[in-house]
């Protein structure tokens, strides 16, 4: 699935690392947070659910003959999403320990609608317990289909198309 002149690697509104940095910043602004830093679980589920709900929302808008006039990319980011034991993970973010919380003001320039959508979603995600988020992600058919309990390494890719299709049906 390749747009003319755009490779799969280039597809997406943001890099997952920059979005992770923004999510970390939003977590740091919570008034009643349990810890000073976001847990790796919460960060990974935040990335996944932001990707899934955004993609599903945009796809659903496009499927309704674009009545919402949505022209945004369905992909928030292009990085690989894998089916790990505790749910979907973006390995590029998980393995990079240098990512720091940053408001990323320029990230949303011209994409204020995307920021509003993500901020609304993060209001719920960031106040949900880590293991509730894991449980919710384990209910997703795309994770179930791609997670193989019997395998030694749990790193099967979850195709982004499967995620978006599933969430477009739910929304």
141-150 tens-digit pLDDT: 999 999 999 9
Looking at the domain assignment, is residue 102 inside a domain? yes
What is the average per-residue pLDDT within 144-157? 94
Looking at the domain assignment, is residue 4 inside a domain? no
Distance CA 20, CA 22 (A): 5
Round the average pLDDT of the chain to a whole number and report it. 91
Q: What value, to the nearest 5°, has the Cα angle with vertex 64 and ends 15 and 166?
A: 55
Q: For helices 112-125 and 40-63, what crossing angle results, to 10°? A: 130
Residue 121 DSSP SS3: helix
Position 159 scores a pLDDT of 98
Position 74 scores a pLDDT of 93
Q: How confident is the model at residue 3 (pLDDT cuts 50, 70, 90)?
A: very low
Cβ contact 42:50 at 8 Å: no
Looking at the domain assignment, is residue 156 inside a domain? yes
Position 32 scores a pLDDT of 87
Looking at the domain assignment, is residue 132 inside a domain? yes
Q: Quick: pLDDT tens for 78-117.
A: 999 999 999 999 999 999 999 999 999 999 999 999 999 9
Provide the domain count of the chain.
1
Burial state string for 30-61 with b = 16 or more CB within 10 A and e = fewer than 16: eeeeeeeebeebbbbbbbbbbbbbbbbbbbbb
Looking at the domain assignment, is residue 36 inside a domain? yes
User: What is the model's pTM?
Assistant: 0.91
Looking at the domain assignment, is residue 99 inside a domain? yes
Q: Quick: pLDDT tens for 110-138.
A: 999 999 999 999 999 999 999 999 999 99
Position 136 scores a pLDDT of 98
Position 10 scores a pLDDT of 56
In the predicted model, is pLDDT for residue 51 greater than 80? yes
What domain range is 76 assigned to? Answer: 9-170
CA-wise closest residue to 19 among 120, 97, 95, 90: 90
Considering only CA atoms, give the Rg of the chain: 16
Run of H or E including 18? helix 16-28
Percent of the chain at pLDDT exceeding 90? 81
Looking at the domain assignment, is residue 1 inside a domain? no
Look at 50-54, 63-67, 121-125 and tell me which has the smallest mean pLDDT. Answer: 63-67
């Amino acid at each position: 699935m390749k747009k003319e002149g755009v490779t799969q690697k280039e597809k997406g509104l943001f890099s997952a690392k920059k979005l992770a940095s923004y999510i970390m910043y939003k977590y740091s602004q919570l008034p009643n947070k349990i810890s000073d830093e976001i847990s790796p679980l919460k960060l990974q589920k935040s990335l996944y659910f932001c990707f899934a709900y955004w993609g599903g929302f945009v796809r659903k808008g496009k499927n309704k003959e674009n009545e919402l006039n949505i022209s945004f990319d369905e992909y928030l980011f292009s990085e690989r999403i894998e089916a790990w034991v505790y749910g979907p993970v973006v390995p590029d973010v998980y393995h990079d320990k240098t990512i720091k919380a940053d408001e990323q003001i320029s990230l949303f320039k011209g994409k204020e609608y995307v920021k509003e959508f993500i901020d609304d979603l993060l209001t719920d995600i960031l106040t949900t317990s880590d293991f509730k988020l894991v449980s919710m992600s384990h209910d997703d058919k795309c994770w179930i289909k791609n997670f193989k309990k019997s395998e030694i390494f749990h790193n099967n890719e979850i195709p982004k198309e499967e995620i978006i299709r599933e969430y477009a049906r739910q929304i």
